Chain A
Amino acid sequence: MGRITLDKVTKSFGTAQVIPPLDLTIEDGEFTVFVGPSGCGKSTLLRLIAGLEDVSSGQIRIDGEDATMTPPAKRGLSMVFQSYALYPHMSVRKNIAFPMRMAKMPQEEQDRRIEAAAKALNLTDYLERRPGQLSGGQRQRVAIGRAIVREPSAFLFDEPLSNLDAALRVGMRMEISELHKKLATTMIYVTHDQVEAMTMADKIVVLRAGYVEQVGSPLDLYRAPRNLFVAGFIGSPKMNFIEGPEAAKYDAHTIGVRPEHISISADEGPWSGVVGVSEHLGSDTFFHIHDTGLAETITVRADGEVSFHHGDRVHLTPRTDVIHRFDTAGLRINQ
């Protein structure tokens, strides 16, 4: 079980309030991602849940029980740190065994769980090595191994992939998702990378300056961002924002159109501009269009085979059915 409830939780460091009163419920078995730009308080929030920091006020409940004052070890949570935080002087086996040793678990049970974890994480051949002799991905798996043997009620991940190179990151992302499917344990995952959030989460919590901007499934956030911040943060490349007369046509202060919802052609379309930089990814091509009179640049996502050159004049057609409308306060206007 692992249902975590935050009730009017706040956190201040000295006079600086990093988390204003915050309510949030994380359901049992859910994969929740806290996402936001750096300094948004997502890591602090995770550390509050872990018990590594005290809340300034409010209550944290784990499975309905007040855990606000419970020390970290007694909360039944496991954490995977950004730096992995492996014990450098212990072998992989001893690292994984450490939480069980602290819990004074019988030796046979420890061995059984280590074997199981090592098998699941492809670490069997490395059990006697020291962390220093492992690659980044392997260290990451050891950290996860150390977290799973305790059979916690929830896993906490603090930007666990940020120290890995791009290719490994994709692989580990899948492994963690896979692990979640297999264990069906609550996971809370902190990242600044919206791609990780979108690909892994059941539920995304978008944070900015300690405030929850929006909570929802990845597709909810993609389809119906509650405000300009979420709209700009979720989705890659970023949503185009257009103000002024063009927005007024839709009865909005600002309209947002995702790059994938604009089609580009040489000769027809309501908007027009000049091609600036084009990025060819093979599968897709991103065009950055200038001089549209709508915004600084309009980014368009097109098929990989489409080709325009720097300086070409092109015409753009937005899909009007998926245009997002925002009012002067930046809040979404529902259809």
Chain B
Amino acid sequence: MATQHSRSAARIMMAPAVILLLGWMLVPLTMTVLFSFKKYLPLRGGDLGWVGFDNYIRFFSSSAFWPSVQVTLVIVGGVLAITVVFGVLLALLLDQPMWGQGIVRILVIAPFFVMPTVSALVWKNMFMDPVNGLFAHLWKFFGAEPLSWLSEASMQSIILIVSWQWLPFATLILLTAIQSLDSEQLEASEMDGASPLARFIYIILPHLGRAITVVVLIQTIFLLSIFAEIYVTTQGAFGTRTLTYLIFQRVLESQNVGLGSAGGVYAIILANIVAAFLMRIVGKNLDS
């Protein structure tokens, strides 16, 4: 349905969105790239001139850089693994006939509605506090010594908090996908003598491929830039400084915009590597 007329109309109607996003992407990006080649200390003299690749070298060779990349990837990977695995299991459970399915579904989605600052605060104080937190009570109840979770098991704790926030999303998408599976397919495989496990591996799991892709894509987009959870809990201490947080500290806490911008460019490169990788998979999966 494409006439010349409708094609030019389409171009005009796309224009606002494209121009806005292009501007949103290019203007700040250009500024970041410019700053990254400068010694720029807003509180200590402002723009102190060009310094070439100094910032890049300093940021890259700082002892904080590689750990922060690693922390970022571990958080993203850990949360993805947990939410996908438990999401599939939970979706299979919720797909079974039961009483009060609607209410259970509401209970399961609820964490998605909770803003990150709230969930981080609640987990930090009311669950993970080594004295008054519920975990501490639970540990004591079983005769164990309560941990100071956010300092002694900081990464696990952060991954737990973020997974709790994203599990509902994964579960819901996977549940929707399972429900769209043609029941005749399952019946046919049953007639063919497939055991429940075989049915899961050969019929259900392949059917979920596209949904899992969507979960991974969307969660990665959001997880790469998680901020509030760390800002509120550890402030980047105890080995939880993500690349995002490191840059945030350079820009806002040390007020070293040049250095932070170089870090920003690294972050953008990292995001692009992940994005290119994801887009390839997604593009393929969305063709169907």
**Touch A–B, Cβ below 8 Å:** yes
A54 to B8, CA, bound (A): 13
A54 to B2, CA, bound (A): 8
Cβ of B44 under 8 Å from chain A = no
* Contact sample, A vs B, 12 pairs, CB 8 Å cutoff: A51-B3, A52-B1, A52-B3, A53-B1, A53-B2, A53-B3, A54-B2, A54-B3, A54-B4, A54-B5, A71-B3, A71-B5
Most chain A CB neighbours (cut-off 10 Å) among B1, B3, B5:
B3
A317 to B4, CA, bound (A): 58
A12 to B70, CA, bound (A): 53
The SS class assigned to the B binding surface is loop
Q: Which A residues from 42 to 86 make CB contacts under 8 A with B?
A: 51-54, 71
A71 to B6, CA, bound (A): 10
A71 to B8, CA, bound (A): 13
A18 to chain B, nearest CB (A): 14
Q: Which B residues from 25 to 58 make CB contacts under 8 A with A?
A: none
**Interface set of A (CB-CB < 8 Å, partner B):** 51-54, 71
B8 to chain A, nearest CB (A): 11
Complex contacts, B2 vs chain A, CB 8 Å? 53-54
Q: What 10 A-B pairs are tightest by C-beta distance, nearest first?
A: A54-B3, A54-B4, A52-B1, A71-B5, A53-B3, A52-B3, A51-B3, A53-B2, A53-B1, A71-B3
A51 to B1, CA, bound (A): 10
Complex contacts, A53 vs chain B, CB 8 Å? 1-3
Complex contacts, B1 vs chain A, CB 8 Å? 52-53
A51 to B5, CA, bound (A): 10
A53-B1, A53-B2 are known contacts; what are 10 more A-B pairs with Cβ within 8 Å? A51-B3, A52-B1, A52-B3, A53-B3, A54-B2, A54-B3, A54-B4, A54-B5, A71-B3, A71-B5
A235 to B273, CA, bound (A): 62
Complex contacts, A52 vs chain B, CB 8 Å? 1, 3
A71 to B3, CA, bound (A): 9
**Closest B residue by C-beta to A48:** B3
A203 to chain B, nearest CB (A): 27
Complex contacts, A71 vs chain B, CB 8 Å? 3, 5
A13 to chain B, nearest CB (A): 9
B7 to chain A, nearest CB (A): 9
A299 to chain B, nearest CB (A): 37
A53 to B7, CA, bound (A): 11
B1 to chain A, nearest CB (A): 6
**Closest A residue by C-beta to B4:** A54
A51 to B3, CA, bound (A): 8
Complex contacts, A51 vs chain B, CB 8 Å? 3
A54 to B5, CA, bound (A): 9
A263 to chain B, nearest CB (A): 49
B4 to chain A, nearest CB (A): 5
A71 to B4, CA, bound (A): 10
A52 to B6, CA, bound (A): 9
**Chain B 231-273: CB-based contact to A (< 8 A → 1; otherwise 0):** 0000000000000000000000000000000000000000000
A28 to chain B, nearest CB (A): 26
Q: Which B residues from 3 to 32 make CB contacts under 8 A with A?
A: 3-5
